[in-house]
Amino acid sequence: MGKSGILYVVGTGPGSSELMTLGAVRTLQKCPVIFYPVTQSKSGQQKSRALETVKDAVDLGKKILLPLEFSMRKNDSLVYEDAKEKCLAFLREGKDCAFVTIGDPSVFSTAGKFASMICGAGFGAKFLAGIPSFCQAAASASTVLCQAEEDLHIICGDEWFFDGRLTKELSSLDGGTKVIMKMNKSLIQILLLTVELGIEEKCLLVQNASMEDERIIYGKDFAAFAEILLADESFGKESGRYFSVLICRG
Amino acid sequence: MGKSGILYVVGTGPGSSELMTLGAVRTLQKCPVIFYPVTQSKSGQQKSRALETVKDAVDLGKKILLPLEFSMRKNDSLVYEDAKEKCLAFLREGKDCAFVTIGDPSVFSTAGKFASMICGAGFGAKFLAGIPSFCQAAASASTVLCQAEEDLHIICGDEWFFDGRLTKELSSLDGGTKVIMKMNKSLIQILLLTVELGIEEKCLLVQNASMEDERIIYGKDFAAFAEILLADESFGKESGRYFSVLICRG
């Protein structure tokens, strides 16, 4: 029996192929099979930020490309199960597979779950780190997140906002820098919260870090920006919300 | 008058050139001048992990290489001032300069200070993100740091240990994953603390992530490992201590 393939979970960084690592590029070049997550836009168009990132750096011409169609309307377990079976078939044939994921696989990625399923079936998985979006957000804004004895906290916006913890945490920034991610329903309210607490000058918001439509909004403009967002009905459905990183420097 | 040069602050990742980004490699290839931090070993030998990382991916043959010799015995302000003057001279001549720093420039790097000095003198600085050591530590151990609604806290070991906060924080890991870095004097005591609190099975230590001498120690072996370290007199002076990342999964 031949040698089994390996699953490589590859972080592509937040969105520019310039942020892919040499290791990620080399690994994807040699993997014949690539699984990539896709999301559906309102108009039904499929989009994969991970694959978009990869295609500028890796020749995908001869690859087997397999989308993982996650959707709010579907049961994601079925998507995973289906992908797992396909992946296992390739691994048994000795073909290496890659699962690409934006940012870093260890930070808010679905990759961990997929890798566990593959390892649980007796195959090997290897993680390749990627630039997390919060590091690129800081780089884009030419700022630092923590230095010397400062701490850094990466927190889930919606979760902390709706249970009231965020107000408490942002009332004092002595405890280090707070990076707020995963603001889905709460983004506008969190921007206004920083203004209410008078800490907006210590904050900045980076949307779509490293992408062509990257946007940096400084705290002094949060109130005006929140007004614009409130008036924009399409905003709730667009990725600018999900791909927003708020940095509150301690 | 010609165009001024730019200072690029380039994160090289934790230590393997495979973890450098395409952007970092391209930028260093085009920069004629590279500043790199060096540390002195006990025997007086100079070492630069950042430059070691770069040299496998970038041809340094025709570069002007300028060490920044940080030392406990010297006043670092003088090192910075001297480097700043040298850097400004190149920038005025229109030569781009790079400052290489391990990991990511936004996380516990001295790069922010240097960039501020250059910007303060009226020149431009651009940050290039790198893989932070804690992301590679997770990748090396094939684990994740946070997923779904979990939070991630990057905290300074010595600081939190010696003021007693760490005992409190680790008593409950409900608040997400704690990544403990910058354990200089406290490493052994922190390992033993996790055992004392009975959370060691949720912890793992990664030393020199991505390097040839990378080492992963799982919580069940912490007590034995602490004994070995205690018996090793040379340990206190070696980089294995500084380049240790402790992951405590919530």
- H/E stretch holding B231: helix B222-231
pLDDT digits (tens, 9 = 90+) for B97-132: 999 999 999 999 988 999 999 999 999 999 999 999
User: Taking residues A200-209, what's their average pLDDT?
Assistant: 96
Q: Do the chains contact at B21 and A21, CB–CB below 8 Å?
A: yes
pLDDT digits (tens, 9 = 90+) for A142-168: 999 999 889 999 999 999 999 999 999
User: Taking residues B62-85, what's their average pLDDT?
Assistant: 85
User: Taking residues A93-121, what's their average pLDDT?
Assistant: 96
ipTM of the complex: 0.95
Q: Do the chains contact at A146 and B129, CB–CB below 8 Å?
A: no
Q: What is the pLDDT of residue A1?
A: 59
User: Taking residues A214-243, what's their average pLDDT?
Assistant: 82
| Among the listed residues B176, B191, B187, B201, the one whose alpha carbon sits nearest the alpha carbon of residue B237 | B187
- A133-248: which CATH topology? 3.30.950
Q: Is the pLDDT of residue A84 over 90?
A: yes
Give bridge partners of residue A10 from the DSSP assignment.
A100, A128
Question: DSSP class of residue A79?
Answer: H
Q: What is the pLDDT of residue A27?
A: 98
Q: Is the pLDDT of residue A6 over 80?
A: yes
Kindly list the domain boundaries of chain B, sorted by start residue: 6-128, 133-248
Q: Is the pLDDT of residue A63 over 90?
A: yes
Mean pLDDT in chain B?
92
Cα–Cα dist B24/B233, whole Å: 38
Q: What homologous superfamily does CATH list for B6-128?
A: Tetrapyrrole methylase, N-terminal domain (3.40.1010.10)
- Mutate which of A22, A30, A140, A158 to test chain B, going by most B C-beta atoms within 10 A? A22
The percentage of residues in chain A with a pLDDT greater than 70, rounded to a whole number, is 93
Q: In chain A, which residues have their Cβ closer than 8 Å to the Cβ of B140?
A: 127
Q: Is the pLDDT of residue A117 over 80?
A: yes
User: With a CB-CB cutoff of 8 Å, which residues 23-82 of chain B face chain A?
Assistant: 23, 25-26, 57
Cα–Cα dist A65/A62, whole Å: 9
Structure tokens at A163: 């249970």
Min mean pLDDT across A195-199, A203-207, B133-137, B171-175 is at B171-175
| Among the listed residues B213, B230, B14, B180, the one whose alpha carbon sits nearest the alpha carbon of residue B101 | B14
Q: What is the pLDDT of residue B43?
A: 73
Shortest distance between the Cα of B175 and any Cα of chain A, in A, equals 10
Q: Is the pLDDT of residue B81 over 70?
A: yes
Nearest neighbour of B22 by CB, restricted to A17, A138, A150: A17
Q: Do the chains contact at B147 and A108, CB–CB below 8 Å?
A: yes
Q: In chain B, which residues have their Cβ closer than 8 Å to the Cβ of A157?
A: none
Q: Is B144 helix (H, G, I), strand (E, B) or coil?
A: coil
pLDDT digits (tens, 9 = 90+) for B223-246: 999 999 888 866 655 545 668 999
Per-residue burial over A93-122, b = 16 or more CB atoms within 10 Å of its CB, e = otherwise: eebbbbbbbbbbbbbbbbbbebbebbeeee
Confidence of residue A234 (pLDDT cuts 50, 70, 90): low
Q: Is the pLDDT of residue A239 over 60?
A: no
At residue A82, φ and ψ (nearest 5 deg) are -65, -45
Q: What is the pLDDT of residue B184?
A: 86
The percentage of residues in chain A with a pLDDT greater than 90, rounded to a whole number, is 78
Confidence of residue B45 (pLDDT cuts 50, 70, 90): confident
Nearest chain B residue (CA) to A155: B151
Q: Do the chains contact at B13 and A19, CB–CB below 8 Å?
A: no
Cα–Cα dist A215/A228, whole Å: 14
pLDDT digits (tens, 9 = 90+) for B133-176: 999 999 999 999 999 889 999 999 999 999 999 999 898 788 79
Nearest chain A residue (CA) to B133: A129
Q: What is the pLDDT of residue A74?
A: 62
User: Taking residues A134-141, what's their average pLDDT?
Assistant: 98
